[in-house]
Amino acid sequence: MASPAPAPAPPPAPAPTPLVIVLLGPTASGKTELAIGLARALELAVLNVDSRQLYRGMDVGTAKPTPAEQAQVRHELLDLRDPDQPINLEEFRAVAAAQIQAELERPRPGRPLALLAGGSGLYLKALTQGLRPPAVPPQPALRRQFSALGQPTCHQLLRAADPIAAGRIAAADSVRTQRALEVLYATGRPLSSQQGCTPPPWQVLELGLDPPDLRERIRRRTVALYAGGLLEETARLRQRYGADLPLLATIGYGEALQVLEGHLDEAAAIALTTRHTQQFAKRQRTWFRRQHRPLWLEGDTTALRLEQALREIRRVLL
């Protein structure tokens, strides 16, 4: 009698689904400190998702992690370009997705992990929800024309041609306004009609920061930025790239530039920067509550918020 055939080998266990942890929140909410705490506890890098921290030489005005903070844990996706070489959303998405994949492939026990931290909502959405903007390369000639027209006129043009995109872009956001017009003129189709979504192959855990004292945090941080060299940094950027550099029109740099040009004194610039930042933070809050569903972290200190965040991460990893 023939011996029975050996039982087939069991199929290999499926690979664990990677987990991408996202720490989001409005400006000055404490993301940098908490992200460093999470990265140290989990032995991860902090992957930056702040659209202005992508640029070299823009350190003080963007509240970029200091050299001492960067020495505590590895930071990635900082200082990718010079300020006169803007990176668009699709370019950032491609670079960041590759960096996330590299983090997920690092040898570690258990599930592959990566940590994103930042407050740039559209950039976060591109990564966590698979938003795929059109791959239109920069159009330098168009951008020069847009800059000559001025931001108010450009935003009016966008409202007339693509009201959906205009509704998503702040009236003072010259970088995103010009990009939307650039896509429209280059393709003949509105940006809003070309943005599809392909969810990434990861599980995403979003953790949010929105402290009740945010307005006071913004005030204190603005004072610290000016004390920490914002005017000097703005002067260096103006000398190297010219006063019409689009990124010098953004919050903090725009007001500092007015001080350098004699249109404001420093006290007035601090007050104006504070107000503009508080208004921006309000828009960020609205975006995060409409476009994302984070677990909002509570607690009066970074230590308590870190404890809550780690507890939630461990729950998801079980």
Q: Rounded to an integer, what distance in angstroms lies between the CA atom of residue 48 and that of residue 173?
A: 20
- For residue 195, give both structure tokens: 């943005």
58 with 166, same domain: the answer is no
Long-range contacts of 86-92, Cβ-Cβ distance < 8 Å, separation of 24 or more = 86/138, 86/175, 86/246, 86/247, 87/54, 88/133, 88/136, 88/138, 88/179, 89/122, 89/123, 89/126, 89/131, 89/133, 89/179, 90/132, 90/133, 90/134, 90/135, 90/136, 92/51, 92/54, 92/123, 92/126
Phi then psi for residue 203, to 5 deg, are -85, 135
Q: Rounded to an integer, what distance in angstroms lies between the CA atom of residue 257 and that of residue 196?
A: 38
Report pTM. 0.81
- For residue 217, give both structure tokens: 């945090």
Which pLDDT band holds residue 132 (cuts at 50, 70, 90)?
A: low
**Structural domain count of the chain:** 2
Which pLDDT band holds residue 264 (cuts at 50, 70, 90)?
A: very high
Burial degree of 290 (CB within 10 A; 0-12, 13-18, 19+): exposed
70 with 200, same domain: the answer is yes
CB 2 within 8 A of CB 9: no
Q: Which of 148, 172, 194 finishes a domain?
A: 194
32 with 82, same domain: the answer is yes
Q: Is the pLDDT of residue 157 over 60?
A: yes
Does the residue 107 lie in any domain? Answer: yes
Which pLDDT band holds residue 135 (cuts at 50, 70, 90)?
A: low
293 with 230, same domain: the answer is yes
Q: Is the pLDDT of residue 10 over 80?
A: no
Q: Which of 145, 161, 194 finishes a domain?
A: 194
Does the residue 7 lie in any domain? Answer: no
Does the residue 2 lie in any domain? Answer: no
SS3 25: coil
Question: What CATH number should be reported for the domain holding residue 51?
Answer: 3.40.50.300
61 with 143, same domain: the answer is no
Question: What CATH number should be reported for the domain holding residue 164?
Answer: 1.10.20.140
167 with 115, same domain: the answer is no
Q: Which of 194, 210, 240 finishes a domain?
A: 194
Mean per-residue pLDDT over the chain, rounded: 91
Q: Is the pLDDT of residue 2 over 60?
A: no
Does the residue 27 lie in any domain? Answer: yes
213 with 174, same domain: the answer is no
Q: What domain range includes position 167?
A: 135-194
Hey, which residues does 196 pair with through a beta bridge?
Answer: 132
211 with 69, same domain: the answer is yes
Which pLDDT band holds residue 105 (cuts at 50, 70, 90)?
A: very high
94 with 200, same domain: the answer is yes
Give pLDDT, residue 301. 93
53 with 73, same domain: the answer is yes
Does the residue 309 lie in any domain? Answer: yes
Give pLDDT tens digits for 69-101. Answer: 999 999 999 999 999 999 988 899 999 999 999
Helices 230-241 & 214-227 angle (0-180, nearest 10): 60
Does the residue 12 lie in any domain? Answer: no
CB 245 within 8 A of CB 58: no
145 with 269, same domain: the answer is no
Give pLDDT tens digits for 267-306. Answer: 999 999 999 999 999 999 999 998 899 999 998 899 999 9
**Which amino acid, one-letter code, is at 206?**
E
Give pLDDT, residue 311. 96
Query: How many Cβ atoms from other residues are within 10 Å of residue 262's Cβ?
Result: 7
Which pLDDT band holds residue 5 (cuts at 50, 70, 90)?
A: low
Does the residue 11 lie in any domain? Answer: no
Q: Is the pLDDT of residue 8 over 80?
A: no
Give pLDDT, residue 240. 98
177 with 289, same domain: the answer is no
Does the residue 81 lie in any domain? Answer: yes
